[in-house]
Chains A and B, each alone.
Chain A
Amino acid sequence: MKNLIYVDNNATTRVDDKVMEAMLPFFTELYGNPSSMYPFALCSKAPIDKAREQVAKFINAERSDEIIFTGCGTESDNMAILGALKAKPDKKHFITSSVEHQAIHILNHSLEKMGYRVSRISVNEEGLLNLDELRNEICDDTALISLMWSNNETGVIFPIEEAAAIAAEKGIPFHTDAVQAAGKVEIDVQKTGVDLLSISGHKIHAPKGVGALYVKRGTRLRPFLIGGHQEHGRRAGTENVPGIVGFGKACELAGEFIEDEVNRVGALRDKLESEILKRIPDTSIVGSREFRTPNTTNIIFKYVEGEAILLMMADEGICASSGSACTSGSPEPSHVLSAMKVPIGVAHSAIRFSLSRYNTDEDVEFIINHLPPVIERLREMSPLGSNRR
Chain B
Amino acid sequence: MWEYSDKVFEYFKNPKNMGEIENPDGRAEVGSESCGDLMLLTLRIDKATDTIKDVKFKTFGCASAIASASVLTELAIGKTIDEALKITNNDIIRELGGLPNAKIHCSVMGQEAIEAAVNNYRGIETVIHEHEEGTVICNCFGITDKTIEKAVREHNITTVDEITRYTKAGGACQSCHLDIQDIIDKLNNE
Q: Do A and B truly interact?
A: yes
Convert B157-188 into 0s and 1s, putting 1 for each residue whose CB lies closer than 8 angstroms to a CB of A.
00000000000000000000000000000000
* B78 neighbours in A (Cβ, 8 Å): none
| Nearest CB of B to A148, in Å | 26
Asked whether A331 is an interface residue with its Cβ less than 8 Å from the other chain, the reply is yes
Is A344's CB under 8 angstroms from B136's CB? no
**Which secondary structure dominates chain B's binding surface?**
mixed
Q: Are B36 and A380 in contact (CB under 8 A)?
A: no
With beta carbons under 8 angstroms apart, the residue of B9, B15, B34, B58 that contacts A383 is B58
- Given A303-B60, A307-B63, A383-B58, the answer on whether A329 and B38 have CB atoms closer than 8 Å is no
Question: A259 CA to B171 CA in the complex, in Å?
Answer: 56
Tell whether A330 is near chain B: CB-to-CB under 8 Å: yes
A308 and B66 contacting across the interface, CB-CB below 8 Å: yes
- Asked if A192 is an interface residue, CB under 8 A from chain B, the answer is no
Q: Contact between B66 and A383 (Cβ–Cβ < 8 Å)? A: no
CB distance from A218 to the nearest CB of B (A): 44
Q: Using a CB-CB cutoff of 8 Å, which residues 284-340 of chain A contact chain B?
A: 303-308, 311-312, 315, 324, 326-331, 333
Question: Looking across the interface, which residue of chain B has its beta carbon closest to that of A345?
Answer: B33
- Complex Cα distance, B32 from A327, in Å, reads 15
Q: Count chain A CB atoms within 10 A of each CB in B29, B62, B63 and give the residue with the most.
A: B62
Report the bound CA distance from A380 to B39 in whole Å. 13
Known: A304-B60, A308-B66, A389-B20. Contact between A384 and B33, CB under 8 A?
A: yes
Inter-chain contacts of B140 with A (CB < 8 A): 328-329
A304 to B18, CA, bound (A): 15
Instruction: Give the complex CA separation of A30 and B175 in angstroms.
Output: 47
Task: Return the chain B residue nearest A382 by Cβ.
Answer: B60
Chain B CB within 8 A of A114 CB = no
Chain A residues, CB < 8 A from B149: none
Total interface residues in chain A, CB < 8 Å: 27
A381 CB-CB contact with B under 8 Å = yes
Nearest to A322 among chain B residues (CB) is B62
B12 CB to nearest chain A CB (Å): 7
B139 touches A (CB below 8 Å): yes
A348 at the interface (CB under 8 A from B): yes
With beta carbons under 8 angstroms apart, the residue of A329, A333, A381 that contacts B59 is A381
Residue of A303, A326, A383, A389 near B62 (CB, 8 A) is: A326
What's the nearest-Cβ distance from chain A to residue B78, in Å?
23
Instruction: Name the distance in Å between A306's Cβ and chain B's nearest Cβ.
Output: 8
Whether B38 contacts A383 by the Cβ 8 Å rule is yes
Judge whether B60 and A383 touch: CB under 8 Å: yes
Q: With A308-B66, A311-B12, A383-B58 known to touch, is A331 a contact of B105 (CB < 8 Å)?
A: no
Interface secondary structure of A, over-half rule: loop
Q: A308-B12, A381-B15, A389-B20 are in contact. Are A329 and B36 (CB under 8 A)?
A: yes
A305 to B58, CA, bound (A): 13
**A308 contact from B40, B58, B61, Cβ within 8 A:** B61
Q: Which residues of B contact A312 (CB under 8 A)?
A: 13
* Listed residue (B29, B32, B38) with the most chain A CB atoms within 10 angstroms of its CB: B38
A328 engages B59 (CB within 8 Å) = no
Docked-complex contact A305 and B18, CB < 8 angstroms: no
CB interface residues, A 143-162, toward B, < 8 Å: none
- Contact B139–A344 (Cβ < 8 Å): no
Max chain A Cβ within 10 angstroms of own Cβ: one of B9, B40, B101: B40
Known: A304-B60, A305-B62, A383-B60. Contact between A329 and B35, CB under 8 A?
A: yes
Take A326-B36, A333-B36, A345-B34 as given contacts and tell me if A307 and B62 are in contact as well, using a CB distance cutoff of 8 Å: yes
CB nearest neighbor in B for A344? B34
Residues in B whose Cβ lies below 8 Å from that of A331? 32, 34-36
Shortest CB-to-CB span from A70 to chain B, Å, is: 27
Closest A residue to B33 by beta carbon equals A345
Instruction: Report Cα–Cα, A272/B16, bound state, in Å.
Output: 33
Name the residue on A nearest B31 (C-beta).
A329
Query: In the bound complex, how far is the Cα of B61 from the Cα of A303, in angstroms?
Result: 9
Supplied contacts A305-B62, A328-B140, A343-B34, 4 more A-B pairs, CB within 8 Å: A315-B13, A327-B102, A329-B36, A381-B66
Some 7 contacts from A to B, beta carbons below 8 A apart, are: A326-B36, A329-B36, A329-B142, A345-B36, A382-B58, A382-B60, A383-B40
Interface residues of A (CB under 8 A from B): 303-308, 311-312, 315, 324, 326-331, 333, 343-345, 348, 380-384, 389
Enumerate the 6 nearest inter-chain pairs by beta-carbon distance, A residue then B residue, closest first: A328-B139, A345-B33, A383-B40, A383-B58, A307-B62, A329-B105
Which residues does B use to contact A, with CB under 8 Å?
A: 9, 12-13, 15, 18, 20, 29, 32-40, 58-63, 65-66, 101-103, 105-106, 136, 139-140, 142
